[in-house]
Amino acid sequence: MTDQPHYAVRSGASHSRSIGITKRATPLTLTWTGDQRVRFSDFQVNEIGKDGKVVHLRYLGSADGQAVPPPQEPVEDSKEKTKSEQTIDKAKDADPPKEEKQPEVAAEDVAVLAGLTSDKFAADLVLLYQGGSGADGEKLTSVTSDPVDDKSKRGQIHGEVRRIFKSTLETNTEDSGAIVAVKVSSRKGRRRNNRGPRDQREEKPAGEFLHFTLYKDNRDTMDAVNQIARALRIKPQSVCYAGTKDRRASTAQRCSVRYVRQRALAGASSKLWGIATGDYEYREQPLHLGELLGNEFVIVIKNCKIIGETTERPLLETLEALKTHAQTALDRMADQGWINYFGHQRFGTYQVGTHEVGKLIIGGKWEEAVMALLSYDAEIASKVADGEVPQEAMKRDMYARHHACMLFKTGQDPEKAVKLMPSRFAAETCILRHLTRLGKASLNDFSGALTHITRGLRSMYLHAYQSHVWNNAASRRWELHGDKVVKGDLVIVEGEAAPLVAGQDQDGDDIVNPVEDEDEASVRARPLTEDEAASGRYTIHDVVLPSPGYDVVYPDNEIGDFYKDFMAREENGGLDPHNMRRIRREFSLPGRYRKLMGRFLAPPSIDFRLYDDEAEQMHPTDMDAIKAARGGGGKRPRDGDAKDDAARKRAKVNGDADAVDKGDEPVAEAPSQQQQASEEEDKMQQGEDEATQAGSKIAAVVKFQLGSSAYATVVLRELMGDLPDESGQTTSGEADA
């Protein structure tokens, strides 16, 4: 496993205030901090299914124990597809036996095949027909296409192959929809040897869809899905999942794929680095987006320290203070909940926040929105222009982005900017391609450029602005009324589903279920009367706040007025919450309701321990558990490998008396008060010595379950407090009311 750079647990108080996070519901006696994701396995996310069960990878392969070994070495991605010109040239240049004349294939026939299937399959058919060799130098005996879902199109392909190659090639359709072509003589030989494609099939599965558990290390869900699809030679859209999972983490989630056998999936995934699949099961229906209850997080925070104190405490005293304080705060959160803010990652990691872009789009300021998306660092762009490019791939792409944006915005070379922009920057790529598609004629089509951004990404900017407004409204609501229910507060109309969908995560903790507005059933809310608010029937956990839109109602009290005043400010877009429809339908926002208070799905836990090695794995991942079950091979560094005496010392320091061997000791007489005092002093000194031997740094292991709309970073902020900003201000201390 490759160690990752340190990431702060959360941003400082000043950044929190900039996105509306200013209040807290949990009183804190102290503020503490630490390093999160020192290793990506320090952040573990396991999906919780609709049945309430936590998803874990239990078997590599099928549940009957037919396991596939996990990948041990990284395998670099290979480009499977080449351009048609290269592949056709390769087919023409293949050297046939000198005694045979190479049969010709008309270029227009190759083009027909390429149009029906792909350039690669068309070129492979030519190679097969002409007796050419594959990439490994072996003579081709069969070729296979990507899956073709359209039955009529498959029939057309079969007919064209027979016509073009004069029935010397024979084609058949696999269960996956892929078309296999063989030479007639070759096929007969293959069948005699019992090696034909159909002879290798498993028994017909019980369902059309193969469900499986996807485990991944340091990869986002889309990256893992794309790699699996590439290995299986299917479209990424064929792999379904309930929600996206964070990249900088070890995660497990359920997925499904159609017309794929478990042997093929096991073989494909075993060759991929950082990806494993298992626990296969055939079902009649696929997994649908949003088909989950939430996620279980196990987060390791290393190098924990108390901040804001003038004198530094001894290690053991710090450990005990953290244990006492954190457990008290966590118990309070489990009982009372916390303000259900949208987390920092929803607002982006670039200089211009996603909510700033969304504000410009909603306000119809197309050019400003485009220029905000193409913002760049002039210093970095200049370094690239001078040839200073970092070796690390991620940094290299980031530098290339700044350079490309500079070339476009300064007008130096817009065409070159398109070529330089790394494809992983999807929004920038879409914008540059659209603005340069017709030369100067399209350079000013800013609204068109925005609509060419993929729908999900475009929605992310709009939802980020809504989240910014919601956070500020939630802070104002708590500031005025705390946990008291008041007249005009909104509650969901009886019989309606709870509004828990939060939207697509940007780049941090796993926020799943990006549901498009028109795909979600409308949820209705209503304001409480004064009598209802005073009746005790409703609690703060029933109160919801709307994100601004045309299909929501606003609180019938001063919070409703706050929406109007806040959004009308110039810095917030000069917008009207009651006018959220736009001429362009894709920029119109219906709005949603979100619970004011967040709650855990199960009792949380926190454990503090001492350590020395930053590479120590504090909590085993699913892959660690599988390897341990196989006999202990492949453990992570320092994961449970401490010697007996070190383990006993650690147990002593952490107060686990039962874990320490006591031995048979004679019963002594009761000590005097002086002896007791002396022994207590000796024990304290011994404790400090043993603490130093057990470890010189403190780590926390926090475990909790959240619904699909809650943010782990918000939970950690509520538990730990804000880091102080430049002025020394934090929001720790007594809860706001």
pLDDT digits (tens, 9 = 90+) for 606-629: 999 999 999 999 999 999 999 888
Q: What would the pLDDT profile of 369-403 be if each residue is shown by its tens digit? A: 999 999 999 999 999 988 888 888 878 999 999 99
CB 281 within 8 A of CB 14: no
Residue 7: pLDDT over 90: no
131-140, 298-307, 393-402, range with the lowest pLDDT: 131-140
Query: Is 629 a member of any domain?
Result: no
Which residue in 146, 147, 171 sits closest to 161, CA to CA? 171
Report d(CA 388, CA 383) in Å as an integer: 5
pLDDT at 142: 84
Do 385 and 465 lie in one domain? The reply is: no
Q: By C-alpha distance, which of 173, 199, 202 is closest to 282? A: 202
pLDDT at residue 162 tops 70: yes
List, for residues 27-85, the tens digit of each pLDDT value.
Answer: 999 999 999 999 999 999 999 999 999 999 998 876 554 444 444 433 334 344 444 44
Question: Which residues make Cβ contacts (< 8 Å) with residue 16, sequence separation at least 6?
Answer: 10, 22, 344, 717, 722, 731
444 shares a domain with 469: no
Pair 383, 405 in one domain = yes
Strand partners, 597: 339
Is residue 417 domain-shared with residue 531, that is, in the same domain? Answer: no
Task: Point out which residues pair with 604 in neighbouring strands.
Answer: none
DSSP annotation of 569 reads S
- The residue ranges of DSSP E strands in 567-692, in sequence order, are 593-595, 597-598, 605-611
* 481 plus 586 within the same structural domain: yes
Does the pLDDT value for residue 192 go beyond 80?
Answer: no
pLDDT of residue 286: 94
38: nearest Cα among 393, 301, 307, 344 = 301
Verify that 385 and 415 share a domain, yes or no: yes
Any domain includes 702: no
Considering the domain architecture, whether residues 416 and 491 belong to the same structural domain is answered as no
Is the per-residue pLDDT at 685 higher than 70?
no
Residues paired with 61 in a beta bridge:
67, 278
Show which of 234, 261, 290 is a domain's final residue.
290
Same domain, 439 and 545: no
Matching residue, tokens 């007791």: 676
Residue 143: strand, helix, or coil = strand
Q: Would 203 be classed as within a structural domain?
A: no
Would you state the pLDDT for residue 724? 67
Domain housing 440: 376-453
- For the CA atoms of 260, 263, 269, 271, the dihedral, rounded to the nearest 10 degrees, stands at -130
Mean pLDDT over all residues of the chain? Answer: 80
Tell whether 169 is covered by a domain. yes
Q: Do 545 and 463 share a structural domain?
A: yes
Average pLDDT value for residue range 276-280: 94
Instruction: Show Cβ contacts of residue 688 under 8 Å, excluding neighbours closer than 6 positions.
Output: 314, 315, 316
464-476 pLDDT per residue, tens? 999 999 999 999 9
pLDDT at 213 over 90: yes
Burial class (CB in 10 A: 0-12, 13-18, 19+), 675: exposed
**Within-domain flag for 736:** no
Angstrom distance (rounded) from CA 96 to CA 409: 53
- Hey, CA dihedral for 413, 419, 420, 424, is it positive or negative? positive
Query: What CATH number is attached to the domain comprising 484?
Result: 3.30.2350.20
The arithmetic mean of pLDDT across residues 282-288, rounded, is 92
Domain final position from 597, 631, 654 = 597
Are the beta carbons of 124 and 140 closer than 8 angstroms?
A: yes
- Quick one: pLDDT band at residue 350, thresholds 50, 70, 90? low
User: d(Cα 464, Cα 511) in Å, to the nearest integer?
Assistant: 13
Q: How many other C-beta atoms are found inside a 10 Å radius of the C-beta of residue 317?
A: 12
Residues 508, 449 within the same domain: no
Mean local confidence (pLDDT), 134-144: 75
Residue 86 counted as domain residue: no
Q: Are residues 154 and 278 in the same domain?
A: no
Q: What is the pLDDT of residue 418?
A: 92
Two tokens, residue 606: 């926190």
SS3 43: strand
Whether 323 is covered by a domain: the verdict is no
Q: What DSSP line would sit under 459-523, residue for residue?
A: HHHHHHHHHHHHHHHHHHHHHHHTT---TT-EEEPTTPPP--------SSS-------GGGSPP-
pLDDT tens digits along 526-570:
999 999 999 999 999 999 999 999 999 999 999 999 999 999 999
- What global pTM score does this model have? 0.70
Share of the chain above pLDDT 70, in %: 75
User: Which pLDDT score, from 0 to 100, does residue 505 have?
Assistant: 40
Give the mean pLDDT of 412-434: 91
Nearest Cα to 5, choosing from 33, 39, 34? 39
The answer to which of 41-45, 267-271, 486-490, 504-508 has the lowest mean pLDDT is 504-508
Rounded (5°) CA angle 679-682-684: 110
Check whether residue 449 and residue 463 sit in a common domain.
no
CB of 243 closer than 8 Å to CB of 510: yes
Whether residue 662 is predicted with pLDDT greater than 50 in this model: the reply is no
Pairwise CA distance, residues 127 & 132, whole Å: 5
Q: What is the pLDDT of residue 156?
A: 83
Domain boundary among 238, 267, 290: 290
What's the number of domains the chain is made of? 4
Mean pLDDT calculated for residue range 563-591: 92
Q: Which residues, in sequence order, are CB contacts of 401 under 8 Å at separation 6+?
A: 376, 421, 422, 425, 428
Separation of alpha carbons 167 and 33, rounded Å = 72
Most confident of 522-526, 565-569, 659-663, 664-668: 565-569
